[in-house]
Amino acid sequence: MSLSALWGLVQTALELGLTCSLTVLALFLSYSMLNVCDLSTDGCFTLGATVGAVVAIAGHPYLSVPAAMAAGILSGFITAVLQTRMGIDSLLAGIIVNTGLYSINIAVMGKSSQLNMNKTETVFTKLKALLDGTPLAGEYELIIELIAVAAVVVFLALFLRTRLGLAIRATGDNPDMVRSSSINPIFTTTVGLCVANAFTGLSGCLLAQSQKSVDINIGSSMVTIALASLLIGRTFFGKGSIARRAVGVVLGSIIFRLVYTIALRFNMPAFMLKLVSSVIVIIAIAGPYFQSQLPTIRRRLAGTGKGAD
């Protein structure tokens, strides 16, 4: 394989890894910090993609990004209201919103299940035109994704150290403490889910615009893939400051895509992606559990055959 072909592969993995790392950062906030497993992620990712696409097709390439994020915030708000004010279990709230979003996403796309953006002006085509003729001309996708990821990482690193950020972290870290403190867990959960889903929407918007099309399945299984990336990142960079851990989950997302790209090179069929991500999530969560059970298992094994006393 030539060097340029190799760079091509790495570049694809980097681009996909960075785009999806925005969703991983969203889960970093909702899953790692707030301790809520937000199962509306798939639908919200697609919502960001469809809203971003529709706004861009309507002739507003710059507006498409904040519009997709606003749609994400709205989706997160509804998920939060269901679980904090209506007594619906948080997992179920996510699933309900996810299901509802399927219809909404098709409605957003004008009763169609896919949209084409081949001739649409997007933030990517804008930058491509701007960089035309410079040495960076080929890297416009990477540049936009890097800027977006850097902005979200910096935002999270600052936000999670504010008083509101600390309150959100405490809500996930010790709900008992928060319940008897002056922090209102309804408020912190709502803000956390809104912010997280803004990133998920942004992630979907950028993926759709970079691949110049969106279809209703663009976000399918995104929550498992993002969770796998998050857990990979946590394994390697799980300790230390918030900024370090946020960078860690971005790297986790890139590592996940790199490994996946390499596996594809070794003729793993593309449809295996979802099984691989499921297995990674299982290993990452079950691994530490079995580790904690190890002393018990050892004693059991040592005890067999000797007879109980």
Partner 1 sequence: MLTLRNITKTFNPGTVNEKTALTGVDLHLEKGDFVTIIGANGAGKSTLFNAIAGSFLPDTGSITLDGKDVTFQPEYMRAKSIGRLFQDPMRGSAPGMTIEENLALAAGGGGWLSHVSKAEKSAFRDKLALLNMGLEDRMRQPVGLLSGGQRQALTLLMATMVPPKLLLLDEHTAALDPGTAEKVLALTQDIVRDNGLTCMMITHNMSSALELGNRTLMMDAGRILLDLKEDQRKGLTVDDLLRMFKENVGKALDNDRMLLS
CA–CA separation, 47 vs 25, rounded Å? Answer: 17
In the complex, least distance from residue 116 CB atom to partner 1, rounded to whole angstroms: 41
- Judged by beta carbon, residue 186 or residue 259, the one nearer partner 1 is 186
In the complex, least distance from residue 160 CB atom to partner 1, rounded to whole angstroms: 10
In the complex, least distance from residue 238 CB atom to partner 1, rounded to whole angstroms: 11
- Judged by beta carbon, residue 143 or residue 164, the one nearer partner 1 is 164
Residue 215's φ and ψ, nearest 5 degrees, are: -135, 165
Which residue, among 203, 242, 225, has the nearest Cα to 278 in the 3D structure? 225
How many of the other CB atoms lie within 10 Å of CB of 100?
Answer: 14
- Judged by beta carbon, residue 169 or residue 257, the one nearer partner 1 is 169
Q: Is the separation of the CB atoms in 50 and 75 below 8 Å?
A: no
Amino acid letter, 227 = L
Q: Is the separation of the CB atoms in 208 and 49 below 8 Å?
A: yes
Which residue, among 274, 272, 292, has the nearest Cα to 282 in the 3D structure? 274
In the complex, least distance from residue 147 CB atom to partner 1, rounded to whole angstroms: 23
In the complex, least distance from residue 180 CB atom to partner 1, rounded to whole angstroms: 5
- Judged by beta carbon, residue 182 or residue 304, the one nearer partner 1 is 182
Residue 146: burial class (beta carbons within 10 Å; 0-12, 13-18, 19+): middle
Positions that interact with partner 1 (CB under 8 A) = 158-159, 161-164, 166-167, 169-170, 173-174, 176-177, 179-185
- Judged by beta carbon, residue 72 or residue 185, the one nearer partner 1 is 185
In the complex, least distance from residue 234 CB atom to partner 1, rounded to whole angstroms: 13
Q: Is the separation of the CB atoms in 44 and 101 below 8 Å?
A: yes
- Judged by beta carbon, residue 39 or residue 191, the one nearer partner 1 is 191
